[in-house]
A and B are shown apart, each in its own frame.
Chain A
């Protein structure tokens, strides 16, 4: 690990002020090289610093007790759900309101990582976790556009079994590894951020960027901006929702394929469907065409399989990950059929 300076922030405002005092223009470099990084649970950052993949000059610790009090609450009312960005994955996964009214959110968190990691990790850090692409994580591979812009991509012709079949480019096919982000994107969540110029709120779907030619720029956050929370609007489909995660072992593994599904059903027909896919794409992936294909139809084997077909019509598999197209379709089909028959 490279030496770094460390400061503990005691409030959101202080965190933003510190980062702006110390890091004037981090935006042009690979994201991981931003001179100053916030640290929340540290479960992504410390790991990557030990691997020399991310080498910040300064850490601003936002996990202080005071900061946690300020922005880790979970509240639900008739307008929706507000999740503070410093709430732990474990706290939100076990929240009674979330479990009852937004089960897809609780499940996407509970099925992630391990009990220890869920105690440590924050929601804000969770959505910003970095890819598990083994070529990104191992600096002895020289070609990685995400880690070292312009160097190429060792995964394109390497062992790309884990890699994305949706949203990739010839510059990068790294999978977005998280689970929780799929439930946020499926439920039309927004994200609150705070920066030196004040606060702003925008659709969560606009947070992550597909790699295109610049895989090192992963989000639309401006330099030094801090995620402070998420808003999930109340809607008729949030209770009838679930997260299905398929992985190499039964627990404590990243998704090979996953589906976040929410349905509004009436008289045996779909009024509205919400679908997001994980483990398969370079960003949290919303499958809008598949959603539209279900509107007005009964949800049965046929309509579910058709929706899954549509969701993967643009899939672009590589040498070792072609299995993910079939796995992804079956995951989505199963998730849709399960959610349609849920008791709510």
Chain B
């Protein structure tokens, strides 16, 4: 272990009783209304690597533990596609601008191209491959996309579907206008938008969220 890692391990062992003055003052004077952010996943300590080193990770993907040894720079998207053969998630822009790489982390839709694989360890990852039921039965959103012809080339589709499932689960699919706004992070170069909106309106009923 390098000096640095020893140092960090040292501070992790010490008990952290310290809070910032701000946090303390704020706990004393404020009424905590609700804990807004639901805690995500189980704690995964000890992730650290030096520049150029490989990092050993255990990722929880579609309910399976996957062990990986990766270049520390690997994005979650590249880990999925290039190291785990989960090529459903697509790389459109690699810069957060298109939504083709959308996956769920701890139940929330995120962009896997702007997430380091290291940052995802200890969290629960769901990709398009994990959406169908254990018997292979399609998720209602997948079925609705087929029924409504909600794609042409299909490249954006896995991202659209992952985003659409979250959009409904978040309660942001009340009407077409709301669906359009909350699906704006998923670009479709074929402009299948009207059919995507129709598929989501349909699937939301099957998902029990109408």
Complex CA gap A87/B32 in Å reads 14
Tell me whether A43 and B96 are in contact (CB under 8 A). yes
* Residue in A closest to B2 when the chains form the complex, CB atoms: A5
Contacting pair B51 A57 (CB below 8 A)? yes
Contact yes or no, B36 A119, CB < 8 A: no
- Are A21 and B4 interface neighbours, CB within 8 A? yes
> Given A43-B96, A65-B39 in contact, is the A6-B49 Cβ separation under 8 Å?
yes
Contact A18 B11 (CB under 8 A): yes
B49 touches A192 (CB 8 A): no
A66 CA / B50 CA spacing, docked (Å): 22
Distance between Cα atoms of A119 and B31 in the complex (Å): 25
Cross-chain contact B72 with A6 (CB below 8 angstroms): yes
In the bound complex, do residue B48 and residue A116 qualify as a contact, i.e. CB atoms below 8 Å apart?
Answer: no
Q: Contact mask B88-110 → A, CB, 8 Å, 1/0?
A: 00000011100100100000111
Residues 59 to 106 of chain A near chain B (Cβ within 8 Å): 61, 63-66, 68-77, 79, 82, 87-88, 90-92, 95, 97
Contact (Cβ within 8 A) A120 B4: no
CA distance A14 to B30 in the complex (A): 25
A6 to B166, CA, bound (A): 30
Nearest Cβ distance between residue A324 and chain B, in whole angstroms? 23
Give chain A interface residues in 32-69, CB to chain B under 8 Å. Answer: 39, 41-43, 46-47, 50-51, 57-58, 61, 63-66, 68-69
Q: Which of B14-22, B132-140, B141-149, B202-210 contacts A (4 or more CB under 8 A)?
A: B14-22
Given the known interface contacts A4-B51, A75-B31, the answer about A194 and B119 at a Cβ–Cβ threshold of 8 Å is no
Of A3, A17, A63, A119, chain B has the most CB atoms within 10 Å of the CB of A119
CB–CB B119/A42 < 8 A: yes
**Interface of A: prevailing SS:** mixed
B contact residues around A95 at 8 Å (CB): 36
Given contacts A116-B185, A194-B22, A251-B184, contact A7 B48 (CB under 8 A): yes
Report the separation of the CA atoms of residues A21 and B50 in the bound assembly, to the nearest whole angstrom: 15
Q: B81 near A: Cβ within 8 Å? A: no
Contact B12 A14 (CB under 8 A): yes
**Cβ of A5 and Cβ of B167 under 8 Å apart?**
no
Q: Contacts A74-B33, A251-B180 known; A50 to B94 CB distance under 8 Å?
A: yes
Instruction: Bin chain B's interface residue count.
Output: 35 or more
A139 contacts chain B at the CB level, 8 A cutoff: no
List the A side residues contacting B36 at CB < 8 Å: 72-74, 87, 91-92, 95
A136: min CB distance to chain B, Å: 14
* B86 on the A face (CB < 8 A): no
Q: How far is the CA of A119 from the CA of B99 in the complex (A)?
A: 13
Query: Cβ of A88 and Cβ of B37 under 8 Å apart?
Result: yes
Q: Is the CB of B16 within 8 A of A8?
A: no
Contacts of A334 in B (CB 8 A): none
Instruction: Give the A-binding residues of B (Cβ under 8 A).
Output: 4, 7-8, 11-12, 16, 18-23, 26, 29-33, 35-37, 39-53, 55, 71-73, 75, 94-96, 99, 102, 108-111, 113-116, 118-119, 122, 163, 166-167, 170, 172, 180-186
Can you list 11 A-B contacts (CB < 8 A)?
A5-B49, A7-B8, A8-B47, A8-B48, A12-B23, A13-B19, A61-B118, A63-B119, A70-B23, A75-B26, A114-B99
Which A residues lie at the B interface, using CB under 8 A?
1, 3-8, 10-14, 17-18, 21-22, 39, 41-43, 46-47, 50-51, 57-58, 61, 63-66, 68-77, 79, 82, 87-88, 90-92, 95, 97, 113-117, 119-120, 192, 194, 198-199, 201, 228-229, 250-252
> In the complex, given contacts A90-B108, A115-B109, A119-B110, what are 13 additional A-B residue pairs having Cβ atoms less than 8 angstroms apart?
A6-B72, A12-B20, A18-B11, A39-B119, A63-B119, A65-B39, A65-B41, A77-B31, A114-B186, A115-B172, A117-B185, A120-B111, A229-B26
